[in-house]
A and B are shown apart, each in its own frame.
Chain A
């Protein structure tokens, strides 16, 4: 009922404005992903009862002067395999109306918001993972003077086609110290504070379950020309939920990013420690639903398929570690740069469990029972990689990559073999621009490991017929494993302006699918897929 009310409101607004002098601007987008499933015993793919499944999204936005309104319709007929079955059905998944001017912005309906780095609150949409935790309620943002900003949010989060039970309330401030104190210096200081509070009614027998859980955060950022330092700390009150096994420990998170960069050289260090930071607006929410905060894996997100067989997923219950990235460009006409220059990137990340205090009896008053800066004994994930890119001549580019990973399958996937998986991966990419608007891109990859499914080899060839057509064949061959399986795929796509139509056929490997460091398990699948997307 409430949804219909909003729909009517948006429709009336659009109708009203369209009679005015300035008719405003209507924009929109459409996306449809369709899959036809077949049984494929070799990879363990069992086709569902409905052989055809599709996820469809249609979005319309309207803007006139300081006003804007939007609506998004989604239909899962039924949802693609691997998406939560709760998505089955269709309806208005998102609608909002908003007013903004130079110092004020007000939104009613669904909105996306991020406080700081998102460590305390972030609502976002990631269609590939079936995540949309937008808050449905009210958002007010004020910028009364230069250097000061305050945002307040109130509402319930989207949970499939319903809303979660918990209410989320948040307040965030950002202060540009240089503007506020009229400092005339090159170094720029910014500070921010946030508070997020969730409320969920509890009618059960356990008196220790809190109905309100608060979290607080503070952050500082210092920037000067080529250098920056960002630090953020979050503390969360006791929040027993299904996702954290009803833990009565407080939560805390520390994130520090340091960077230095000048032309031709970039260096970034990320350090993060998380403890009991699974923060959701409903006590019984699990998997990817109803997250209030955002805890991406602080590791390199790889472009090669074989490097994504063992991807890290953040361990919100406890992890400590960091990441180092160095990018360097050997200049043109230098000995290593050659005629066109050579670019190199080195990245290393490592995460361990937290270290428990030796004698818990001595630290009864400690709400955490862990050492703060000490690494625990168990490695969760480690990744060292080097990539070199080289332009050979006007039409040819080559790139080489080496990756070594250590992956704690038991911890990250919650089961499986007890020994960590250690991989060595080598990859080569070749780009060649032919005459008459044609081009070729090819990849060769190999993964060596003695654990789990053993060795893999993969190859890709992509042929582009500009301006619109692209064709590819791709095979990942698990030749070291017991079954010796080819995960082959082939397809083509047609692109014109903002419209893209793609057709593919083949096998999809089951496992963790990760986008932006958030992962979900997808089953093995086989069949034909069609994707259409456009916008106007």
Chain B
């Protein structure tokens, strides 16, 4: 009985706080990530000034993430041409597999902008539960759309959102 009470209060507080915050678009949180050359980058510098930016959180061990990035690679040149899109892939691989990321992405022929979030600082700041998780960010650095998980074909839904936000 006590557990149910705790549970209900817990959910209510959460719903109340979401209510307070839905009036405006959120910016990307400012955290540090690494590029593949080991340079520290501020997340605020990621914004695509020429158009929209897709941020995809992924990991080398995450199967749906790899399916998603393969699908995005197939359409990337069209999207760049039609909508000036920049795709940023942020790996949450920790020290078990982060050393494999450069070889992995180049060996797949992927052409996105790659970054490492080795201790999940940015993942935590963006309240991501699991990878894959993708965001659509506008020129001002505001998050206009996001999606948890990936099912085959989701990139078509993402492209519809891109067209809506052009």
The interface of chain A, by Cβ under 8 A from chain B, is: 25-31, 54, 56, 58-61, 63, 73, 75, 77, 90, 112-114, 117-119, 122, 124-125, 188, 190, 221, 223, 228, 230, 257, 259-268, 270, 294, 296-298, 300-303, 325-329, 341, 343, 345, 389, 391, 397, 431, 433, 437-441, 462, 464, 466-467, 470, 493, 495, 497-500, 516-517, 533, 535-536
> Across the interface, which residues of B come within 8 angstroms of A535, CB to CB?
126-129
B154–A466 touching, CB < 8 Å: yes
The interface of chain B, by Cβ under 8 A from chain A, is: 3, 6-7, 10-11, 13-14, 17-18, 20-22, 26-27, 29, 37-38, 60-63, 67, 70, 74, 94-97, 99-100, 102-109, 118-121, 124-130, 133, 145-149, 151-154, 156-157
- Tell me, in angstroms, the Cα distance from A267 to B106 when the chains sit together: 9
**A533/B107 contact (C-beta < 8 A), A26-B21, A439-B153 known:** no
Nearest opposing residue in chain A for B63, CB measure: A303
B120–A389 touching, CB < 8 Å: no
A329–B109 touching, CB < 8 Å: yes
B7–A343 touching, CB < 8 Å: no
- Tell me, in angstroms, the Cα distance from A65 to B73 when the chains sit together: 37
> Across the interface, which residues of A come within 8 angstroms of B67, CB to CB?
431, 441
- Tell me, in angstroms, the Cα distance from A490 to B91 when the chains sit together: 30
* Minimum distance in angstroms from B72 CB to a CB of chain A: 13
A28–B18 touching, CB < 8 Å: yes
Nearest opposing residue in chain B for A266, CB measure: B103
7 interchain pairs, CB-CB under 8 A: A61-B125, A77-B6, A228-B102, A268-B99, A268-B102, A433-B152, A462-B151
B17–A493 touching, CB < 8 Å: no
A328–B94 touching, CB < 8 Å: no
B109, B119, B126 — most chain A CB neighbours (10 Å)? B109
- Tell me, in angstroms, the Cα distance from A75 to B6 when the chains sit together: 8
* Minimum distance in angstroms from A95 CB to a CB of chain B: 14
A264–B107 touching, CB < 8 Å: yes
Nearest opposing residue in chain A for B121, CB measure: A112
Contact residues of B: prevailing secondary structure: mixed
- Tell me, in angstroms, the Cα distance from A139 to B37 when the chains sit together: 26
Contact residues of A: prevailing secondary structure: strand
A466–B156 touching, CB < 8 Å: yes
A467–B157 touching, CB < 8 Å: yes
Partner of A327, one of B21, B107, B120: B107
> Across the interface, which residues of A come within 8 angstroms of B129, CB to CB?
29, 31, 500, 533, 535
A464–B37 touching, CB < 8 Å: no
> Across the interface, which residues of A come within 8 angstroms of B124, CB to CB?
112, 125
Nearest opposing residue in chain B for A331, CB measure: B109
Nearest opposing residue in chain B for A432, CB measure: B152
> Across the interface, which residues of B come within 8 angstroms of A498, CB to CB?
127, 133, 146-148
B146–A497 touching, CB < 8 Å: yes
> Across the interface, which residues of B come within 8 angstroms of A61, CB to CB?
125, 127
B153–A73 touching, CB < 8 Å: no
B107–A25 touching, CB < 8 Å: no
> Across the interface, which residues of A come within 8 angstroms of B156, CB to CB?
437, 466
- Tell me, in angstroms, the Cα distance from A262 to B36 when the chains sit together: 13
- Tell me, in angstroms, the Cα distance from A462 to B154 when the chains sit together: 14
Nearest opposing residue in chain B for A112, CB measure: B119
A230–B153 touching, CB < 8 Å: no
* Minimum distance in angstroms from A65 CB to a CB of chain B: 10
Partner of A124, one of B94, B106, B157: B94
- Tell me, in angstroms, the Cα distance from A345 to B26 when the chains sit together: 39
Nearest opposing residue in chain B for A330, CB measure: B109
B103–A325 touching, CB < 8 Å: yes
B151–A466 touching, CB < 8 Å: yes
> Across the interface, which residues of B come within 8 angstroms of A433, CB to CB?
152-153
- Tell me, in angstroms, the Cα distance from A29 to B10 when the chains sit together: 12
Given A261-B103, A439-B151, 13 more A-B residue pairs with CB atoms under 8 Å apart are A26-B20, A27-B29, A125-B124, A259-B102, A266-B103, A268-B104, A389-B70, A433-B152, A437-B153, A470-B151, A498-B147, A500-B149, A536-B17
Partner of A90, one of B6, B62, B70, B145: B6
B95–A261 touching, CB < 8 Å: no
- Tell me, in angstroms, the Cα distance from A495 to B133 when the chains sit together: 11
**A188/B37 contact (C-beta < 8 A), A266-B102, A500-B149, A533-B148 known:** yes
A259–B108 touching, CB < 8 Å: no
> Across the interface, which residues of B come within 8 angstroms of A397, CB to CB?
70
> Across the interface, which residues of A come within 8 angstroms of B152, CB to CB?
431, 433, 439-441, 464
> Across the interface, which residues of B come within 8 angstroms of A464, CB to CB?
151-153
* Minimum distance in angstroms from A213 CB to a CB of chain B: 22
Nearest opposing residue in chain A for B19, CB measure: A536
* Minimum distance in angstroms from A503 CB to a CB of chain B: 14
**A495/B99 contact (C-beta < 8 A), A61-B125, A188-B37 known:** no
Partner of B26, one of A27, A113, A263, A389: A27
**A263/B109 contact (C-beta < 8 A), A431-B67, A467-B154, A495-B148 known:** yes
* Minimum distance in angstroms from B66 CB to a CB of chain A: 8
